[in-house]
Amino acid sequence: MSEYVVAVDVGGTSMKGGLVTRAGTVAATDRRPTGAELGPGNVIAAVRSFTGDLAARGAELFGTAPAAAGIAVPGLVDDATATALYAANLGWRDVPAADLVPLDVPVLLGHDVRTGGLAESVLGAGRELSDFLFLPIGTGIAGAMVIGGGPYGGTSGWAGEIGHVPVFPEGEQCACGQIGCLETYASASAVSRRYSARAASPATAEEVATLTAAGDPLAMKVWDDAVEALSLALATYTLLLDPSAIVLGGGLAEAGPLLADPLAVRLGKRLTFRTAPPLRKAALGVAAGMLGAALLGWRAAGVPEAGASWSPDVSRTPAVP
Amino acid sequence: MSEYVVAVDVGGTSMKGGLVTRAGTVAATDRRPTGAELGPGNVIAAVRSFTGDLAARGAELFGTAPAAAGIAVPGLVDDATATALYAANLGWRDVPAADLVPLDVPVLLGHDVRTGGLAESVLGAGRELSDFLFLPIGTGIAGAMVIGGGPYGGTSGWAGEIGHVPVFPEGEQCACGQIGCLETYASASAVSRRYSARAASPATAEEVATLTAAGDPLAMKVWDDAVEALSLALATYTLLLDPSAIVLGGGLAEAGPLLADPLAVRLGKRLTFRTAPPLRKAALGVAAGMLGAALLGWRAAGVPEAGASWSPDVSRTPAVP
């Protein structure tokens, strides 16, 4: 069998790719735009070209075609037919895996957040945990619910949409059409938007975090609302799922104790008859999706045990986007 | 192997017992008080005496000791050690199964709500579903989350506490110490309590349902609050777990369309980017716990496939308590 797989994490605006060996060595990485603004046909061509170029690079390095490919994509995936069903931000519908990978090798597709959760589960912050929540907080919020050792997708692939849990039913309108969703208070873009709408000049979420740490009252209020919304959603998650930990990732988690410390206090206060699960920081940063795609690739290649012994050298995402 | 198991469902105030054959025939049933008001020692003795008497009845009917026993108990259960760990309403701690069953047969204990969910899953309203929520609405509210074909208990046995999900974070105080819990608006006792606190004379939940159907404005408001609270909690459940159905049980579900119709409408409205799972009525009524305990008994006896072919003749619970 070939010594490596092609792994690609397709995001809304850019793709991260890598060649990953069975021992977990990341032999090469690359990054490209998805070109989503040019329409779904262009995105499919871009992914196809990217995976093809990664495989060509692999042929140079290893002298063979890859053993398989793993692709993490936004939106719904049908595992049974290896089809990317639907992604609102990319505009595609019913894209077979073969359209994304111009190679005669096994391919597994995965939902982007759950693929990142798979990586955190197998080789990241949830390594020894069978049941936990991986919650990346970025432009939007969705969670990967690891249940019984693996990411859980629900009946139709829509599980984990914690960003649209109604935390303040009398609250602000969310872009989804609903009222008071977690995401509309606590995503990195919400923190930036809510501060900027009230301040003399706009600020990124990272800047709001800095202002909060410096004691700026308006920033502190916006930050406090985000913490309050997260504490409600995570109390609900804990009461329903009884996880052994909550792993915080994404840009907002880079704020570290500024987010995690008040959140842990409030989550504990909201749970009266049980203890709160510990909060952990995600271990794999922005590489989680690509590494999870590599795990999918090795599963497609018939090596499901790959990953447990990997010690990836992860360059962390530096800051709130 | 013996032809029957002893099954007991231990509730807060009474116990339901039965002798159930491998083919699902309920050969005998009985009911007794738990005597919880006399302390945990008395409850343990009452359960022990009840299971012993049921086995004696079985010996008369079948000429043999039972193949095994299954006991559904409130509160936490440790499957690995067959120990009833803790139940607030019974006051017991760390009760080994052997203390509850004076027989030399295999015994399985189960959490009461999840044991009812097991029965609805194997032979009730969720028969063909691998992933759904069983939500009995009675004096309190807790759910059995069926995930991947079986009830899910979480990391520490505390999963499914949907009754204490904060649906109105600025709302009324719950007995648990928290604010705005589902249970404090939507349990049968909450419907009765909230109506009675505002009305000239008190009413049971069943009476509030009747008054609501008759157009009484105060009853309609209390009923509406319960529906609203349920729609928020079930929207949250759906967004997180993506179930294929929600099975409503317990006393309040006996109100039928008066509860289910407005709840289905509001749940649908709260979900903007996905459809709502269908609401179903539980099939097994108050017998769910005892039948689930019988399934546990057959599992303890080494017959895990028992149940799938059962067609229990269930006498439904008639009304809201």
**Nearest chain B Cα distance for residue A231, angstroms:** 10
pLDDT at B318 exceeding the cut of 50: no
Q: Which residues of A touch B176 (CB under 8 A)?
A: 272-273
**Residue of B157, B159, B232 lying closest to A169 (CB–CB):** B232
If you count residue pairs, one on A and one on B, with CB atoms under 8 Å apart, how many are there? 121
What does the pLDDT average to over B132-153? 96
| Domain spans in chain B, listed from the N-terminal domain onward | 4-117+285-300, 129-281
- Show the 3-state SS of B231-290: HHHHHHHHHHHCCCCEEEEHHHHCCCHHHHHHHHHHHHHHCCCCCCCCEEECCCHHHHHH
Q: Which residues of B touch A176 (CB under 8 A)?
A: 272-273
**Residue of B167, B235, B242 lying closest to A156 (CB–CB):** B242
pLDDT at B316 exceeding the cut of 90: no
pLDDT band at B172 (very low <50, low <70, confident <90, very high): very high
- The predicted-structure confidence for A93-143, as pLDDT tens digits, reads as follows 999 999 999 999 999 999 999 999 999 999 999 999 999 999 999 999 999
d(CA A164, CA A142): 8
Q: Is B321 exposed, middle or buried (0-12, 13-18, 19+ CB in 10 A)?
A: middle
Tokens of A137: 């907080």
- Interface with chain B: mutation pick from A240, A242, A266, A269, highest number of B CBs within 10 Å: A240
Q: Which residues of B touch A242 (CB under 8 A)?
A: 153-161
Averaged confidence pLDDT in chain A: 94
Kindly determine whether residue B240 and residue A235, on different chains, have CB atoms separated by under 8 Å.
Answer: no
pLDDT at A259 exceeding the cut of 80: yes
Kindly determine whether residue B164 and residue A244, on different chains, have CB atoms separated by under 8 Å.
Answer: no
pLDDT, position B167: 98
pLDDT at A80 exceeding the cut of 90: no
pLDDT at B296 exceeding the cut of 70: yes
Residues of chain A above pLDDT 90, percent: 90
What does the pLDDT average to over A262-275? 96
Q: Look at residues A178, A45, A65, A157 and name the one whose alpha carbon lies nearest to residue A111.
A: A157
Tokens of B268: 């649908």
Q: Which residues of A touch B (CB under 8 A)?
A: 88, 130-131, 143, 145, 147-148, 152-162, 164-170, 176-178, 232, 235-237, 239-244, 270, 272-274, 277
pLDDT, position A126: 96
pLDDT, position B264: 98
Residues of chain B above pLDDT 90, percent: 90
pLDDT at B320 exceeding the cut of 80: no
Same fold, A4-117+285-300 and A128-281: yes
pLDDT band at B1 (very low <50, low <70, confident <90, very high): confident
The CATH number that domain B129-281 falls under is 3.30.420.40
- The predicted-structure confidence for A200-257, as pLDDT tens digits, reads as follows 999 999 999 999 999 999 999 999 999 999 999 999 999 999 999 999 999 999 999 9
Work out the angle at residue B224's Cα, subtended by the Cα atoms of residues B219 and B225, and round it to the nearest 5 degrees. 100
Q: Which residues of B touch A274 (CB under 8 A)?
A: 156, 158, 161
**Nearest chain B Cα distance for residue A52, angstroms:** 34
pLDDT band at A44 (very low <50, low <70, confident <90, very high): very high
Q: Which residue of A has its CA nearest to B181?
A: A236
Kindly determine whether residue B242 and residue A272, on different chains, have CB atoms separated by under 8 Å.
Answer: no
pLDDT band at B19 (very low <50, low <70, confident <90, very high): very high
Q: Which residue of B has its CA nearest to A130?
A: B155
Kindly determine whether residue A242 and residue B157, on different chains, have CB atoms separated by under 8 Å.
Answer: yes
pLDDT, position B141: 96
- The predicted-structure confidence for B61-105, as pLDDT tens digits, reads as follows 999 999 999 999 998 998 888 899 988 888 899 999 999 999 999
Residues of chain B above pLDDT 70, percent: 97
pLDDT at B236 exceeding the cut of 70: yes
pLDDT at A315 exceeding the cut of 80: no
Kindly determine whether residue B164 and residue A239, on different chains, have CB atoms separated by under 8 Å.
Answer: yes
CATH fold label, B4-117+285-300: Nucleotidyltransferase; domain 5 (3.30.420)
Q: What is the CA radius of gyration of chain B?
A: 20
Kindly determine whether residue A157 and residue B242, on different chains, have CB atoms separated by under 8 Å.
Answer: yes
- Show the 3-state SS of B138-196: CCCECCEEEECCEEECCCCCCCCCHHHCECCCCCCECCCCCECECHHHHCHHHHHHHHH
Tokens of A38: 């040019």
Kindly determine whether residue B155 and residue A242, on different chains, have CB atoms separated by under 8 Å.
Answer: yes
Q: Name the CATH architecture for the domain at A128-281.
A: 2-Layer Sandwich (3.30)
- The predicted-structure confidence for A152-167, as pLDDT tens digits, reads as follows 999 999 999 999 999 9
Q: Which residue of A has its CA nearest to B142?
A: A240
Q: Which residue carries 């009765």 as its tokens? A: B192
Specify whether the CB–CB gap between B202 and B249 falls below 8 A. Answer: no
pLDDT, position A261: 98
Q: Which residues of B touch A147 (CB under 8 A)?
A: 147-148, 152
pLDDT, position B315: 54
